[in-house]
Amino acid sequence: MKYRKLGNSDLSVSEIAFGSWLTFSSGAQKENAVACVHRALDRGINLIDTANVYGRGAAERVLGEALSGIRRDSYVLATKLFFPMSDTDRGLSRVQIHKQLEASLQRLGVDYVDLYQCHRFDAATPLEETMQALTEVVRAGKARYIGFSEWPIDGIGTALAMPGVERFVSSQPQYSLLHRGPEKELIPLSVRSGISQIVWSPLAQGVLTGKYSAGKSPPSDSRAADDAVNGFLNPEWLKPPVLNAVAALKPLAEKAGLSLAQFALAWVLRLPNIASAIIGASKPAQIDENVAASESRVPAELFEDAERILAGKAAH
């Protein structure tokens, strides 16, 4: 496993991160979920990403159990807030930031998180209030650093220009061979501002593993076949033009000596501004495969060929 510096922080994070989103909140057995966390740590993954809303706290509770007894300075723990936790609890107000962080710390069984992230932008709360509250929790020692996910560019710029508050060190965008939007504005702004990307959905919700085939029903154990989570899948990605293009990437991955999933992860990690790519896993063996992407060396021309094959298929 290789590691990268997270923005203008002193955190060193693994190029592959472990995310608790689906695995912990979609009914997977707790024992298997804990086994996946332990396998991730054993394979050198040190960045663990979750959020209060995943399973309405269930993901954080299971993660807390999995991390119990493990030396606190051996992993980087990230969580998020914004989405509703009740009929009245949501957003990035000062009250919510303090309340939700306290609840997350209790569920996780820790005294602090390394990274506290705003899961989305809150247009209903003054940005000054949000940034001041985030600064308060950092200076109280309850969060070491702060980040954001899927914020508008102007909101990021306003926050970065605000005096007397803590600065963001991370951004969590969706980014993959099939979703390249961050390249246009977010990544250039982040490079200039000391912010690294922690990418979610680097495998395009599993499409870039090659598990889906045009004209065939999705595998029964896949996200596309699970009504509880397939709402997050871009329906365009399951249409024949995209699936056939993805299938055409397999020979490129083979030339690199990689599986298609490893190739897609390595493509994401080709950019220095990407600190880490978040993977999920329903079984420990999936972690073993994905971790190998961090150790790969892929000729640039293979990535260029992949981009040409997917030209017109990726969201920008």
The residues annotated as belonging to the active site are 54
Amino acid identity for residue 312 in this structure: G
Cross-strand partners of 113: 143
The Cα 15–Cα 278 span in angstroms is 9
**Torsion region of 82: left, alpha or beta (phi above 0 gives left; psi -120 to 50 gives alpha):** left
Amino acid identity for residue 314 in this structure: A
H or E element in which residue 115 lies: strand 113-118
From residue 48, give the alpha-carbon distance in Å to each of 20, 44, 165, 259, 264. Answer: 8, 11, 26, 24, 20
Cβ proximity of 204 and 176 under 8 Å: yes
Tokens of residue 216, six digits: 């065939």
